[in-house]
Amino acid sequence: MKPIYVLNGPNLNRLGKREPAIYGTTTLAEVEQICRSAAGDRPVVFHQTNSEEKLIDWVHEAIDEGAGILINPAAFTFTSIALLDALKMFEGPVIEFHISNVHRREAIYHRSYVSMRADAVMAGLGATGYATGIAALLNMIESRS
């Protein structure tokens, strides 16, 4: 069974301590467990990086190996055409995920390149919302099979 890829961008390694009023106190390790529990029997490839290059490399790996992608690109959401170009090569479902409601924040967080490819965009559910994102991704995969 092909895995789903859960990919996380810059500064998310600091979850738990990073601006808790915005991102809560759930750590990245706890987010990983939330994702693995929500995925059930579906294998999960879970990564976080502060490097745009590494994030793109994992999208390339998903192109060849993955059934779906749930990605929190963090700040690269709003800056990276290279990440958008990589995601355009992925043929399965893509969900763009943000812990916070980016549309209620500063204007720099309002224009997403990733949304030009994403099949769905989730924002504001908090870190536990990753479980909802995983469930939605599994449904998308199932409905396409």
Contact positions vs ligand DHK (CB under 6 A): 11, 72, 74-75, 98-100, 102, 109
* Shortest spacing between CB 2 and ligand DHK, in angstroms: 25
**Closest distance of CB 15 from ligand DHK, Å:** 9
> Which C-beta is closer to ligand DHK: that of 49 or that of 100?
100
CA distance 131 to 23: 16
Angle at 53 between CA 139 and CA 86, to 5 degrees: 45
Element (H, E) at 5: strand 4-8
Minimum separation from the CB atom of position 87 to ligand DHK (A): 17
Task: Name which of 75 and 131 has its Cβ closer to ligand DHK.
Answer: 75
Sheet holding 94-98, edge to edge: 44-48, 4-8, 68-72, 94-98, 120-123
Is there a catalytic annotation at residue 23?
yes
Tell me the catalytic residues.
Answer: 23, 98
